[in-house]
A and B are shown apart, each in its own frame.
Chain A
Amino acid sequence: MLNIIGHKNIFLSAAAVLIGAAVLVIAVFGLKQGIDFKGGTLWTFSIPVNQPSIEDIENVFRTDLGIADVRITFDTSNNNFLARLPAENEVEHQKFSAVLKNKFGAFNELSFQSIGPSIGRELRNKSFIAIGLVLLGISLYIAFAFRKVMKPVSSWKYGWITLISLFHDVAIPAGLLAVLGRFANIEIDGNFVVALLVVMGFSVHDTIVVFDRIRENLVLDRGKTEFGTLINQSVNQTLARSINTSLTLILVLLALYFVGPIALRYFILTLLVGVTTGIYSSIFVASPLLLIFHRQPTSTRK
């Protein structure tokens, strides 16, 4: 039997450390914003015959096309080049294509995306609002769904705890991406925000499963057992289903990550990390927090 409550200090501290580290990393490194947020051009092409080096191509951009702000990377799994430039209009796009075709013969464009900075600002705003709304919406829904469970913890507290564990599940993938941004130049795009929202929507599933069991046991128990022990029992009873429901999703995500389309890779990675921390947060964070909130002095009870 897993003694969650007994070791709650360890688990909660571990979670706090991770969240703290994530927030720190985000504050220090920042999230590397992709063109969705900053504006710019993302150009994917391949040059399968007489493949030039990255420097060669960058030189062409700098000297022949007069673009100083260019960054080119090479994707080995697909033999593609990825060029990042400031936002260009179509006339420029065609001009550059012509020059590159001239210089490199087998130039083959796979995709071209150019976004002006005003769209980026708009996306950033929408993202914050959407994240805020989901956090709020889910927490309110939980408070509502558990409205009949007034003792020993008021239903609002269930809402707060959900909020905290959701934050945990979102902060850690974001922190990971900040690290990846700093060391591997991985950028966040609109999909990253979507991934965070999905993580929130999903990570609350196993939290609900545990809370439901606690609620049910509270009704059956009628105050005989001490709250902490009851929580422990509930968690252990629902361990299998908490883990399994996330496991099936993780299996699908793994398939998508390893054999799925490359464009979605970091999106799937964010989801994978988020769902995994989701399991951790419902078992090791949400439940102990319930006990702690219960032990708050009477001044918090209204």
Chain B
Amino acid sequence: MRQRNALFLLIIVFAAVLSAIFVYPKWLGARWREWRLGLDLVGGSHLVYEVDLSQVGAGDRSSVVNGLRDVIERRVNLFGVSEPQVFVAQAGGKSQLVVELAGIQNISDAIKMIGETPLLDFREVEGEGTSTAFIPTNLTGRYVKSAQLTFDQTTQAPEVAISFNDEGGKIFEQLTGKNVGKPLAIFLDDALIEMPTVRERISGGQAVITGRFTIQTAKQLVERFNAGALPAPITLIDQLTVSPSLGVDSLNKAIVAGVIGTLLVMIFMLFYYGRFGIFASLALVIYIFLTLGVFKIIPITLTLAGLAGFIITIGMAVDANILIFERVREEIKKGLSRTAAIQEGFHRAWPSIRDSNTSTILTAIILYFFTSSFVKGFALTLLVGVLVSMFSAITTTRLFLKVFVHDK
């Protein structure tokens, strides 16, 4: 029996050591995978844009917003920021675009570029191959009334049907007349996206772009036309920029505080609970490494709030141990043998442990769904921390006691 418990304990300790190597931000752990740090630790910007959909018909809304998102993501990628995040969010019935740029150097340029509404224009093509020249025309997305995804009657191939307004229709007629048999280039934000060939002069402002489209690419083009065509201006409503130096400073301070906090807790446990305190302290260290390992594996993007949440769970992690130890003391006073007291202690303390952790878990879950992305990080680390600490208290400490404590 004791051998089996010792084996389990060894497995847990081994897992903790592996985890420690994994989470240490240098050596092997870093080479396999890097820590994901939030903006407030690494420096960067968090921007929230509100999309003005007042001019957009209800049916087109999600299409426009998605199109906007794509365009902005492409713009943001140009900045070479690692893992820029651009996503759509709903808040108070309005659509928002959230952009997160971590570790960016020139934030003002990025913001300027993002702020411009996507520009769509048509250009004539001269030459081909390496000597292709694109000659801008004055046909821009402004003249496109709408775009739609259609399918060829016979081949079922996806196509993009665009409809110009009157003025645009005239310009388009001119352009196509000049370029029959030649390709016409479509540019988005100065990047070539499609180059369909003009088959005949088109009047009436309706045209169908055929080509090697998949449903996916055709849909994308439609969305981009709609985003470029329909006015859907975006306004920056929330901006947070943190300089990298502040971020690093916060990170260091948090780590130091965490270490000192842990030491204080360990000293207290040793002082008050003596030998049992040693086991609790060891279990605490194991808890810290295992939890950090879980964070890195999921992976959770660690923000400052998230780090604080984790450090707070360190303060809470020993609670289960305290409840158990106090209980064991009581049982020993009642006259039980040490091993029996430990058994009783775990058994009796469990309801309190379960209930108190449940209330924290409840709070963490509510926090997660109700708050901004920064606080979500806190809620997540709180949740994961509490769950792992429950495991650690019940398994690790109990194994330590079972293996090392003998009856007198």
Whole-angstrom distance from the CB of B188 to the nearest CB of chain A? 23
The number of residues on chain A lying at the interface, defined by a beta carbon within 8 Å of a beta carbon of chain B, is 70
Residues A114 and B323 in contact, CB atoms below 8 Å apart = no
Stretch from B16-24, B30-38, B255-263 that touches the partner: B255-263
B308: chain A residues at CB < 8 Å are: 256, 260, 264, 267-268
Residues A94 and B108 in contact, CB atoms below 8 Å apart = yes
In the complex, which of the residues B92, B242, B251, B258 contacts A111, with contact meaning CB atoms closer than 8 Å? B242
B91: chain A residues at CB < 8 Å are: 119, 122
Residues A90 and B115 in contact, CB atoms below 8 Å apart = yes
Q: Which of A101-130 contact B (CB under 8 A)?
A: 109-116, 118-119, 121-123, 126-127, 129-130
Residues B359 and A138 in contact, CB atoms below 8 Å apart = yes
Does A70 sit within 8 A of B, measured CB to CB?
Answer: no
Residue of B nearest to A209 (CB): B352
In the complex, which of the residues B111, B315, B322 contacts A252, with contact meaning CB atoms closer than 8 Å? B315
Does A190 sit within 8 A of B, measured CB to CB?
Answer: yes
Whole-angstrom distance from the CB of A124 to the nearest CB of chain B? 11
Q: Which of A248-264 contact B (CB under 8 A)?
A: 248-256, 258-264
Does B78 sit within 8 A of A, measured CB to CB?
Answer: no
In the complex, which of the residues B239, B356, B366, B371 contacts A90, with contact meaning CB atoms closer than 8 Å? B239
Q: Which of A58-107 contact B (CB under 8 A)?
A: 89-90, 93-94
Residues B355 and A212 in contact, CB atoms below 8 Å apart = yes
Q: Is the interface of A mostly helix, strand, loop or mixed?
A: helix
Q: Which of B125-182 contact A (CB under 8 A)?
A: none
B371: chain A residues at CB < 8 Å are: 126, 130, 190, 193-194
Residues A261 and B253 in contact, CB atoms below 8 Å apart = yes
A255 CA to B304 CA in the complex, in Å?
15
Chain A interface residues toward B at CB < 8 A: 44, 89-90, 93-94, 109-116, 118-119, 121-123, 126-127, 129-130, 133-134, 137-138, 141-142, 145, 190-191, 193-194, 197-198, 200-202, 204-205, 208-209, 212, 216, 237-238, 240-241, 244-245, 247-256, 258-264, 267-268, 271
What are 14 A-B interface contacts by the 8 Å CB criterion?
A90-B112, A110-B243, A111-B246, A116-B238, A119-B91, A126-B371, A137-B366, A194-B375, A209-B356, A244-B326, A248-B319, A256-B258, A258-B257, A264-B304
A-B pairs, 5 with minimum CB distance: A201-B363, A252-B315, A260-B257, A255-B261, A252-B261
